[in-house]
Amino acid sequence: MAKLNLTVAVDAYEHLLDLLTGRVRADGLDVNWLRVPAADLNRRFADRGEFDVADLPLADYVARLSRCDRSVVALPVFTSRQFVQEAVWVKKGSPVKKIEDIIAGRCATDDETTSLYLRVWLQSTLSRDPGAMTCPVMDTASLHRKLAAGELDVAITFAKPSVAEPLVPDVIEAERAYYQATKIFPIMRVICIRSDLLDRHRWLATSLLHAFEEAKQNSLNRLIFAGMSRYPMPWINAYVMRTRTVFGDNFWPYGINANRTTLDACLGAAHAGGLTEQKLEAQDLFDEATWDS
């Protein structure tokens, strides 16, 4: 039987390296893997339909579902994850001195998904809903300019503004403590596939999920069992051992069950913040063939 041709566009993530190089192949598929910057994928994939599979920001995908746009459907493969604590920047002299000050401060972000996890973090830290907290989304250049001009008190971004300092000084320790208390490891981007393609080839979801999992596990093995300087970074083995102590050996899990706490928190924040009219459940995001993952 001839293999199904598929075009997959992703950024150059290390945990996808074996897929991009062909070392790992998805069963039944002849895949054309394209390296496309993450910033371009939302426009080129979800809006223009240039590719069959790509990763999207989680908040963008959730918003599409809320609008009953099911032109793409997600697989529980999470290409990017980052804790929001490291994304909170204030200008020196800002009235925002501690976490709870963010709620009343003039806040903006360059990423909708990050703002969802900001709400999750505030709620878990303050033990109350942030309520009517607003954090509008704008492009990164405008965000940096407004913070520098004093038009914002706090910027939520993973692109450090030149005039800013972190609100959370010992961020690694803060994020470690946050994860241990909540088991939330923020999911920023998720792999999606065209729904019409999946409707015609129901086996696609399982084949791709297995391939992404194998490539990711190979990547983790390269980190865990490194007997040489595989990556140009000092102390990386010590960081890996510290990470395994906190997260366990599978510190970048795919699948629904291992990520249910994070997904439920994000979807709750999406509903509380007005991104969705009704609270979605984790299974609502993914193809039915992956529900037991």
Residue 196 has a CB neighbour count (10 Å cut-off) of 11
What are the φ/ψ torsions at residue 84 (nearest 5 degrees)? -75, -20
For residue 201, count CB atoms less than 10 angstroms from its CB and return exposed for 0-12, middle for 13-18, buried for 19 or more: middle
Q: Class of the 4-81+187-252+280-287 domain? A: alpha beta
Tens digit of each residue's pLDDT, the chain (293 residues): 689 999 999 999 999 999 999 999 999 999 999 999 998 998 899 888 899 999 999 999 999 999 999 999 999 999 999 999 999 999 888 888 888 888 878 899 999 999 999 999 998 887 767 776 788 999 999 999 999 999 999 999 999 999 899 999 899 999 999 999 999 999 999 999 999 999 999 999 999 999 999 999 999 998 887 677 778 888 888 888 999 999 998 899 999 999 999 999 999 999 998 899 999 999 999 999 999 88
- Residue 45 corresponds to which tokens in the numbers above? 């994939």
Residues 6+ apart with CB under 8 A from 122: 99, 100, 102, 103, 130, 133
Residue 269 has a CB neighbour count (10 Å cut-off) of 25
Residues 6+ apart with CB under 8 A from 85: 121, 168, 171, 174, 175, 178
Quote the CA–CA distance of 121 and 115 in Å, as a whole number. Answer: 10
For the chain, give every residue range classified as CATH 3.40.190.10: 4-81+187-252+280-287, 84-182
- Find out whether 56 and 30 touch, Cβ atoms under 8 Å: no
Q: Class of the 84-182 domain? A: alpha beta
pTM for the complete prediction?
A: 0.94
Residue type, 274: G
- Residue 46 corresponds to which tokens in the numbers above? 């979800």
CA angle 136, 77, 209 (to 5 degrees): 155
**Residue 1: predicted pLDDT:** 63
